[in-house]
Amino acid sequence: MNREQIAAEQRSRLAVIYIRQSSSYQVSHNVESGLRQRSFVDRAIELGWARDRVLVVDEDLGESASRTGKRSGFEQVVAMTALGEIGVILAIEVSRLARANRDWYHLLDICSITGTLIGDEEGLYNPKEYNDRLLLGLKGTMSEAELHIIKQRLVEAMRQKAKRGELRRRLPAGYFWDEAGRIQKDPDEQVCSAIDLVFNRFAVLETINQTHLSLCEDGVRIPVRVANGKGLEWKQPSSGQIQRPLCQ
């Protein structure tokens, strides 16, 4: 559809600019993408919305669009659309909004009911119209398929690296890779004793849950890696921190 087909009633509602990047690394280093997405404020104004009726939703910076129910910004957009508060949703491409067809078609259904338009870098669409909805559906399907292809490439790259003996996964606390590419125990005796205690307790109790409960009851603290991966700190372990060295 074109600019002339936008109804006055749709312009009386909000124009929402949805901004998302998949990781904190992208937010910090792929600055141009963020600038391009924010430039859609001007696009909304060109389409006839007043500046004070344009809302930028950027709560999902650093969040993957494949995660259902974990993006507060997207959930806000869906809720506002259902309440009839949004006239148009603008995003640089549909993959910004959703990488899962479940989320995408749910949004399209709500937009169809409330008369909300969707726009991307290539055009403006009315989900009520058959041809526009068909095109939006294809865009959503391609977006989900693209994510699957990306994952497959990453998995295959890891497999090839593993075949060459070059795969280096992050090790649990108490272990490190030496220069020859072999896994070694931390030379610190206190660290080794704590790791040995976890393995010995598991050998007796046979389940991770019982091992975790037993260690917590005894007030045992084990070494865990700090957030930046450099150095260790001693703390009461979580079930996952018990599981990792046992299942690595």
Select which of 22, 66, 95, 143 is catalytic.
Answer: 22
Three-class secondary structure assignment of the chain: CCHHHCCHHHHCCEEEEECCCCCHHHHHHCHHHHHHHHCHHHHHHHCCCCHHHEEEECCCCCCCCCCCCCCHHHHHHHHHHHCCCEEEEECCCHHHHCCCHHHHHHHHHHHHHHCCEEEECCEEECCCCHHHHHHHHHHHHHHHHHHHHHHHHHHHHHHHHHHCCCCCCCCCCCEEECCCCCEEECCCHHHHHHHHHHHHHHHHHCCHHHHHHHHHHCCCCEEEECCCCCCEEEECCCHHHHHHHHHC
Is 22 one of the annotated active-site residues of the chain? yes
Residue positions annotated with a catalytic role: 22
